[in-house]
Structure 1
Amino acid sequence: MDEQDPIGFAPSAAALEAIARGTIAKLPARFAEHLGDVLLLIEEVADEETLAELGIEHPLDLTGLYHGQPVGEKSTTESGAEPDRIHLYRRAILEEWIETEVRLDELIAHVVIHEVGHHFGLSDDDMQTLEDQVAEDGPA
């Protein structure tokens, strides 16, 4: 089988990243303009330290995580801080995809928007509104 032919294989980290970046590209400009310095990282699963900090026992129970300080809480006097990061955990996302039978692009969009929401300090209702706006534009 050709490497370019993904039939029979789980989507790669690169495929998940492409969907996630497509979701980010659909965000309204007022959000997108503040995401340029946020790193998007695709990892297989969360590390043990992260899971312990969050009180999560199984690595497949965490699909995404925002590390950083929400936009409204940032200070111009801070220096030396690590960049804000959105982590997507590939195996957990794929497990949820299999269990829920939700379209993969919709699931990734949901996780990305939830983590973007943390970056902006949005409420769950605001995140849902943003997710609905992005969904209206079609698949990522």
Structure 2
Amino acid sequence: MEMDAEAFETLVVDELDRLPDDMVDGLENVVFVVEDRPEDGSLDLLGLYDGLAVTERGSYGMGELPDRIVVYREPHLAQCDDLDEVRDEVHTTLVHEIAHYYGIDDAQLHEMGWA
């Protein structure tokens, strides 16, 4: 599957807009970023939550850098055969990484069918 960076970013924004309001309304000081690949160059990692889960932090102060949710374009495209699969996988990745923001770990995500 091939898709340029701009089209993939648009797809990610569209999928983010489709998520339930109660899932995204609680997000505070989080930015969503699209990158081509993880730093190690692998195609295994689809997304990453880079931050401290709400369950493990106090409140943010002035000047705190935002947490980041990264969605990797090339791994998604390598694992999907068509546009519908890409959309589904991006949706799952967003839910998965947002869940980490809320303090839900991989074991819990696996039990819920999102890992």
Shorter-normalised TM range: 0.7 to 0.9
1:45 aligned to 2:37? yes
Aligned residue pairs total 110
Deviation digits for residues 33-56 of structure 1 (CA, Å, limit 9, x no counterpart): 1235311111111113xxxxxxxx
Cα 1:16–1:35 shift into 2, 3 Å: farther
Q: For 1:34 and 1:27, locate their aligned partners in 2 and report how far apart those are by CA, in whole Å.
A: 12
Greater than 3 Å deviation, 4+ residue runs: 77-81, 125-128
Q: Measure, in 2, the Cα distance between the counterparts of 1:44 and 1:75.
A: 32
Secondary structure of 1:61's counterpart equals coil
TM-score by length of 1: 0.65
Tell me which residue corresponds to 2:5: 13
Identify unmatched segments of 5+ residues in structure 1.
1-8, 49-57, 129-140
Report the Cα distance in structure 2 between the residues aligned to 1:101 and 1:16, rounded to whole angstroms. Answer: 10
TM norm structure 2: 0.77
Identity %: 26
Q: CA RMSD of the aligned region, Å?
A: 2.7
* Pair 75,85 (structure 1): closer, same or farther in 2 beyond 3 Å: same
90, 94, 111: which one aligns with 1:108: 90
Task: Using the TM superposition, give the Cα deviation of residue 26 of structure 1 relative to its aligned residue in structure 2, in angstroms.
Answer: 2.5
Q: Which runs of 5+ in 2 are unaligned?
A: none
Q: Give the number of the structure whose alpha-carbon radius of gyration is greater.
A: 1
